[in-house]
Structure 1
């Protein structure tokens, strides 16, 4: 907790993480360098490679399988563009739009997106399904999906898999290895500045997908790839890199250094333990999740917490609370004091 800025009352890691003290120092130093006309693209490039390696460690892969970018939807769009005409994509009802919309955008080619209940995702994969896409942790509810049945169902029909780890990496122990493609924006549970995202690729994905967004940073040698007309793409996942948002990377690498040093299982126990204590105090069932939600159709609970200095969020008619490394029992007590005294609040339903 001491590595972060004061996060008391901040229960919104699912919206945006808080910076570590190292992140703030790195970003301020970078601004000072820029102000002295001392910024170096080569130095930024070295940070990108360090960040790639740190993220690879967090998700259990070789860095050669990790591509860097700035937005998850653009990375999902690469997979969407590789689908054959008239392909079927299966997604859960209500998943985050960045996981879903890039496939809908291929409707002009006959690509069909079939939304199914999350708890039936594996059952709904069928012969002819080309790809299954879902989030490891649902943004709106915090529900964690066991990937094994979905992966087995996809393998049985030859479908590719794409999993969004944005609401998982940094708090939930995750491995990107079983999936064909994963996407992760680092500004939530990984606590990086916005503008740093990652994608990972299996052997099959590296063979089948094409870097439709390729630019100079996708070249085998970046600094020899600045001008056309010829270009040699990188042999590994770097062929899917896009030009980095330089000034986000010093802070991102500082954050990733810290999160890579944290045992993810311990982080998950800490977060879910707090969420379960909150549920017990409010008389609702334990969720065993780092994101916990309560009915709040009119937003009264969210307004009451905001007025009391607690930062939370509202999604899909529910109050959404996220517990991360900087939270403690005092945060649970603050929420219980506000919600317990709120007329009409019902923690279930």
Structure 2
């Protein structure tokens, strides 16, 4: 599927420039159609609960195929915070956990809670050399786990996961990666990185509704579900009995919000039609073009290290820029003096030009 064909599946793009996918993308037609069909069936009394219930397990297979991992290593959860908290609750209460000081809170607060168990927490403050270097500098012989986001929308830096993986291997530590702001655009390099835990909430670059998230880990036999329920059990029963957890990652499955997973199934089917290398090249090219143009317009890039498909720059007159973005129907995120834009496969160079015109006027 070409970028033009992909763009045609997003009606919102007919009259606006969407650069706010780091917050959430517009709805893709296959996803919204799946949801509207389900809602119509619900309204008209054609709801088939057993069919809706199968939507979440079906995404386990689809997500595993998309990533190239074993379905037995995939748990179905509701958020990255739940994934991180599940892993945190299953860690031994010794050693050191290294996290970025400016991490997204869903991948920060669950680890901070380990202080109460006696675990040492090191918050690596991002320095002028970037997040990768600060994380690497914080790892030592006591480190038992490093938790890091592949990309953070605060500055768009792309953490070098291969270097972080090498550092954790050197001290025998495990690696937890949040790929929510990268998977769907950037290739995860799982074959070389091989994170111990990979968490993804699908409502950003994977185009899913909010509420569908996955945790991938080969260490599922060590995990204790935060919310054990009928979904955690191996026998599929509903009433009575005693907990017999599934022998695979499904032991951590939570009871699914049906509509989220119905939409997620349609989104994964759509994303699987894209060539990963083409998507990454396209989006990085747009981001590079924007950053070059923004510098020429006097904006100052934020962050160091390896750039990604998300670009953040400081601007001198944010109030005026906000008015220009609104009048130009450019959907981007402006907080304080920071402008954040993100480029998906549906974006094009006209979108870049529209954002740069707003910056340059």
TM over 0.5: yes
Say which of 195, 198, 201 aligns to 1:182. Answer: 198
Given that 1:133 and 1:163 are in contact with CA atoms closer than 8 Å, whether structure 2 keeps it comes out as yes
Say which of 232, 246, 251 aligns to 2:263. Answer: 251
Give the secondary-structure state (helix, strand or coil) at the position aligned to 1:18.
Answer: coil
Cross-structure match for 1:281: 293
Q: Does 1:337 align with 2:354?
A: no
Cross-structure match for 1:16: 24
Cross-structure match for 1:346: none
Cross-structure match for 2:4: none
Given that 2:136 and 2:164 are in contact with CA atoms closer than 8 Å, whether structure 1 keeps it comes out as yes
Q: Which aligned pairs between 1:86-125 and structure 2 lie closer than 5 A?
A: 86-116=94-124, 117=126, 118=131, 119-125=133-139
**How big is the shift at 1:283?**
3.3
Give the secondary-structure state (helix, strand or coil) at the position aligned to 1:105.
Answer: helix
Cross-structure match for 2:161: 147
Q: How many equivalent pairs are there?
A: 337
Pair 85,171 (structure 1): closer, same or farther in 2 beyond 3 Å: same
Deviations, residues 238-269 of structure 1 (Å, cap 9, x unaligned)? 11100111011222111110111111211111
**How big is the shift at 1:86?**
4.3
Q: Which aligned pairs between 1:1-349 and structure 2 lie closer than 5 A?
A: 1-7=7-13, 8-116=16-124, 117=126, 118=131, 119-176=133-190, 178-202=194-218, 205-222=219-236, 224=237, 226-283=238-295, 288-296=307-315, 299-300=318-319, 301-314=321-334, 317-341=337-361
TM-score (norm 1): 0.90
| CA distance, structure 2, for counterparts of residue 67 and residue 50 of structure 1 | 12
Cross-structure match for 1:345: none
- Higher mean displacement: 178-187 or 113-122: 113-122
Pair 315,87 (structure 1): closer, same or farther in 2 beyond 3 Å: farther
| CA distance, structure 1, for counterparts of residue 336 and residue 201 of structure 2 | 21
| CA distance, structure 1, for counterparts of residue 243 and residue 316 of structure 2 | 54
Deviations, residues 155-174 of structure 1 (Å, cap 9, x unaligned)? 22221110001011111111
**Structure 2: runs of 5 or more not aligned:** 1-6
**Structure 1: runs of 5 or more not aligned:** 342-349
**How big is the shift at 1:176?**
4.4
Given that 2:75 and 2:253 are in contact with CA atoms closer than 8 Å, whether structure 1 keeps it comes out as yes
| CA distance, structure 2, for counterparts of residue 176 and residue 235 of structure 1 | 23
Given that 1:58 and 1:169 are in contact with CA atoms closer than 8 Å, whether structure 2 keeps it comes out as no
TM-score (norm 2): 0.87
Pair 187,106 (structure 1): closer, same or farther in 2 beyond 3 Å: same
Deviations, residues 138-164 of structure 1 (Å, cap 9, x unaligned)? 121111111112112112222111000
Given that 2:59 and 2:264 are in contact with CA atoms closer than 8 Å, whether structure 1 keeps it comes out as yes
CA root-mean-square deviation: 2.0
- Higher mean displacement: 231-240 or 312-321: 312-321
- Higher mean displacement: 169-178 or 10-19: 169-178
| CA distance, structure 1, for counterparts of residue 235 and residue 220 of structure 2 | 18
Give the secondary-structure state (helix, strand or coil) at the position aligned to 2:289.
Answer: helix
Deviations, residues 157-215 of structure 1 (Å, cap 9, x unaligned)? 2211100010111111114460111110000000111111111012xx22332223221
Given that 1:55 and 1:260 are in contact with CA atoms closer than 8 Å, whether structure 2 keeps it comes out as no
Pair 6,263 (structure 1): closer, same or farther in 2 beyond 3 Å: same
**How big is the shift at 1:59?**
2.0
